Chains A and B, each alone.
Chain A
Amino acid sequence: MSYTLAELLTPRNRPTLEAMLMAVLQETTIEGMPGVRFPVTDWQPGGFERTHMKMIATGLLDREDTIRMITAGGFLDLASTLEDADGNPIEGWMELLASKWYLLNRYEAGYSRQLLTLTCTSGPGPYTRAAGEIIAMSPVTGNRYTNEAEVTIPDGGSVTAIFKAEGPGIAWADSAETIVVLVTPGLPGVTVTNAPSVAGVPANYISGSGSLAVTSTTVTTTPRTVKIAFTAAGRVSDSSARFTCTVYQGQAVTTTGPFVASASFSQGDLTIGFTDGATGTQSFDEGDEWIVGVPGTPLLQAGSDKEQLSALAQRCRDRWPSLSLVPTGNRFAGMVRECQSASKIGITKVTTRASTTVAGVENVYIAGPTATATPTQVAAVQAYVDERSSDVDMANVIAAEDAPISLGGTVKCRRGTIDTIKANANLAWQTYIAGLDLGGEPPDGLVKLLALENILNDAGAYNATGLTLNGSAADVVLTGLQCASVAAWPNGLPSDALTWHEVA
């Protein structure tokens, strides 16, 4: 007997299986005994043979579902969408397929890590606290962070330390200058903030003995990534080193130069200083690169949810083009996903387009779960990709165009449920945005108003009226490279952006 793929994927239900068994028990003659059928006629509940038959049917029912899962477990599209009878995802088969066939493990959820600055007035300090003893919180989101290592806050001074989110997930993506509440008692005179800095930590690929540094009189309001690439080896002192400067700003990529490396180089409101290494050594080599994102975000590592099965399936598909000797768009996209795996950098969305102006160059557009990529993320991904590209096939990593989605409308809830519903709706909306690819829901590139309504209803709202996205009671249409993001507070999350009423 042969079965079609569709039959293998459609388990027979209990009534069908029991009907098959009953047909055999009641209608089939016993082998070797012509005309004699199975003699049992008592099929009341609790009957010996009825119970026996039901037990066999139960076993077959379990086997039917196992057949469905084994079959689906061999195909990426099917394994990544397997569900149980209650509609809950079955994740093990996709993970098994990815692990055993593609040697890819699913990404676990990641914790956000932020740089927090603790400042103490003159007099009450200094304070020293062990790891985990200082808790800071964002009053906007209620998210709390604890210090990763021992911290000493100087009297009349400040210290910057790494704080880790209390829980994993994309919900811990607090923006700069919002973590300003010190929860820990016993630190009078101490204030906290996650302020942006002039520049992020540079990605440094200088093989010579020289070094670069960036300074500025202000924290820039023009986020961008600056790459210094040396085109001629040499030193600053004899003006022999040459470099080009490439600026990535939004989707625009501008390269200028080559310039002679001198003591300092101005790029907008930045000053980049070049310093020679020891006398007699080569300060910079041709091919050396130095990449920095400005301004420096306090978010060192964005939290991430456990990898969605659809994303894991896509990484598996990326395996095949990655075998190509010539890098392709998918290979670069695969590199970005591997970069996320290795560093938890917070990039979950990626798409590529061949450059229309430069042959052999692929533009790689990236974004995080609920916002486009920061300059620091762009710089890190660019560096990761550059290390793995060939000499002739390269990628420009670009932050996807941000498309903030602001919400509007009125929600009614049963009395006493509002806080729970707000929290559930916030998480579900962030999850929805995080699940959208660049360019919105295919095929029309939508951010759906109905999704918001469903989220509110599923969260337990009694009624939701007048809902809008970006001020209009209609779906938002994105272009292919736009990244739907949660609009800045107070417009982006249901709890803040919507008008809430309690009813009896």
Chain B
Amino acid sequence: MANIGDPLGCDIACTTGFPLRMRMCWGQENLGNAQIRRLNADEGSLASIGDDPDYGYNLADQINASFDRSQPGALAAVGGRVRAELEKDVRINQAKARIIAGGDSLTVYLNLSTEVGPFSLVVGVSDLTVDRLNQGLPGTLPTGDL
């Protein structure tokens, strides 16, 4: 049964595309879904339906062939944009991000602070999508590229 009283909200579970089997989610899962959707959406992609024109930062598009991760500060700049994007959500008081480059993909470690407490979210970024890798209680962000 959906927990419709959850302070982080209750919505249909979805991160990318239209779910073939609908189920409700709430709490951290729902909030995590919302953040992954933000990082999958093109900037301004909701404007055409009259929603927030400032919504979205397509992380996969940033990690394309022309992205030179060896440039000093390149990953840090992306991390800054990720933090700014996630903090547009009124349910998130503060977001921290650390990005680890590996092969053809990136892993983004997120610590999100909300009114019901902090939690972590780990997402993998390929050249196509942003997907959830892990979620749970906050941990220490790994060291590495920033």
Closest CB of chain A to B94's CB: distance in Å?
17
Whether A45 contacts B52 in the complex (CB less than 8 A), given A39-B2, A39-B4, A51-B46, comes out as yes
- B-binding segment of A53-61, A261-269, A490-498: A53-61
Contact call A58/B12, Cβ cutoff below 8 A? no
**Which of A40, A41, A55 sits near B49, CB closer than 8 Å?**
A55
A317 interface residue per 8 A CB criterion: no
B133 interface residue per 8 A CB criterion: no
- With the chains together, A43 CA to B89 CA distance in Å? 11
Contact call B49/A47, Cβ cutoff below 8 A? no
Q: Which residue of A lies closest to B41 (CB)?
A: A46
B144 interface residue per 8 A CB criterion: no
Contacts of B46 in A (CB 8 A): 45-46, 51, 54
Q: How many residues of B contact A (CB 8 A)?
A: 31
A44 interface residue per 8 A CB criterion: yes
- With the chains together, A51 CA to B41 CA distance in Å? 12
Contact call A41/B91, Cβ cutoff below 8 A? no
Contacts of B8 in A (CB 8 A): 42
User: Which chain A residues in 5-62 approach chain B with CB under 8 Å?
Assistant: 14, 18, 39-51, 54-55, 57-58, 61
Contacts of B26 in A (CB 8 A): 42
Whether A51 contacts B49 in the complex (CB less than 8 A), given A41-B4, A41-B6, comes out as yes
Q: Which residue of B lies closest to A46 (CB)?
A: B37
User: Which chain B residues in 37-61 approach chain A with CB under 8 Å?
Assistant: 37-38, 41, 46, 48-52, 55-56
Q: How many residues of A contact B (CB 8 A)?
A: 20
- With the chains together, A370 CA to B111 CA distance in Å? 73
Contact call B49/A44, Cβ cutoff below 8 A? no
Contact call B9/A46, Cβ cutoff below 8 A? no
Contact call A49/B12, Cβ cutoff below 8 A? yes
- With the chains together, A335 CA to B13 CA distance in Å? 69
Contacts of A18 in B (CB 8 A): 50
Q: What are 12 contact pairs spanning A and B, CB under 8 A?
A: A39-B10, A42-B9, A44-B9, A45-B51, A46-B34, A46-B38, A46-B51, A48-B11, A51-B49, A54-B51, A55-B49, A58-B49
Q: Which residue of A lies closest to B7 (CB)?
A: A41
User: Which chain B residues in 1-22 approach chain A with CB under 8 Å?
Assistant: 2, 4-6, 8-14
Interface centre among A14, A40, A41 (most CB of B within 10 A): A41
Contact call B89/A44, Cβ cutoff below 8 A? yes
Q: Which residue of B lies closest to A58 (CB)?
A: B49
Contact call A42/B50, Cβ cutoff below 8 A? no
Contacts of B33 in A (CB 8 A): 48
Whether A42 contacts B52 in the complex (CB less than 8 A), given A48-B12, A51-B46, comes out as no
Contact call A51/B51, Cβ cutoff below 8 A? yes
Closest CB of chain A to B88's CB: distance in Å?
8
Contacts of B13 in A (CB 8 A): 48
- With the chains together, A58 CA to B9 CA distance in Å? 24
Contact call A50/B89, Cβ cutoff below 8 A? no
Closest CB of chain B to A495's CB: distance in Å?
42
B90 interface residue per 8 A CB criterion: yes
Contact call B12/A44, Cβ cutoff below 8 A? no
- With the chains together, A51 CA to B51 CA distance in Å? 8
Contacts of B12 in A (CB 8 A): 40, 48-49
Contacts of B52 in A (CB 8 A): 45-46
Q: Which residue of B lies closest to A52 (CB)?
A: B12
- With the chains together, A460 CA to B7 CA distance in Å? 54
Contacts of B91 in A (CB 8 A): 44
Closest CB of chain A to B77's CB: distance in Å?
23
Closest CB of chain B to A132's CB: distance in Å?
47
Whether A49 contacts B11 in the complex (CB less than 8 A), given A41-B4, A44-B34, comes out as yes
Whether A45 contacts B24 in the complex (CB less than 8 A), given A14-B50, A51-B46, A51-B49, comes out as no
Closest CB of chain A to B39's CB: distance in Å?
10
- With the chains together, A61 CA to B2 CA distance in Å? 32
B30 interface residue per 8 A CB criterion: yes
- With the chains together, A39 CA to B90 CA distance in Å? 20
Interface centre among A41, A43, A46 (most CB of B within 10 A): A46
Q: Mark A473-494, 1 if CB is under 8 A from B, else 0.
A: 0000000000000000000000
- With the chains together, A51 CA to B11 CA distance in Å? 11
- Please list the 3 inter-chain residue pairs (A to B) with the smallest Cβ-Cβ separation, ordered nearest first: A42-B9, A42-B11, A39-B2
Contact call A58/B90, Cβ cutoff below 8 A? no
Closest CB of chain B to A48's CB: distance in Å?
4
Closest CB of chain A to B134's CB: distance in Å?
22
Q: Which residue of A lies closest to B19 (CB)?
A: A48
Known: A39-B4, A51-B51. 4 other contacts (CB 8 A): A41-B10, A44-B91, A46-B41, A54-B46
Contact call B30/A42, Cβ cutoff below 8 A? yes
Q: Which residue of B lies closest to A15 (CB)?
A: B50
- With the chains together, A356 CA to B12 CA distance in Å? 81
Contacts of A47 in B (CB 8 A): 9, 11, 34
Contact call B49/A42, Cβ cutoff below 8 A? no
Q: Mark B61-103, 1 if CB is under 8 A from A, else 0.
A: 0000000000000000000000000001111000000000000
Interface centre among B11, B56, B88, B89 (most CB of A within 10 A): B11
Closest CB of chain B to A61's CB: distance in Å?
8
Q: Mark A304-345, 1 if CB is under 8 A from B, else 0.
A: 000000000000000000000000000000000000000000
Contact call A46/B50, Cβ cutoff below 8 A? no
- With the chains together, A50 CA to B33 CA distance in Å? 14
Closest CB of chain A to B65's CB: distance in Å?
27
- With the chains together, A311 CA to B51 CA distance in Å? 41
Contacts of A41 in B (CB 8 A): 4-6, 9-11
Closest CB of chain A to B84's CB: distance in Å?
15
- With the chains together, A47 CA to B8 CA distance in Å? 12
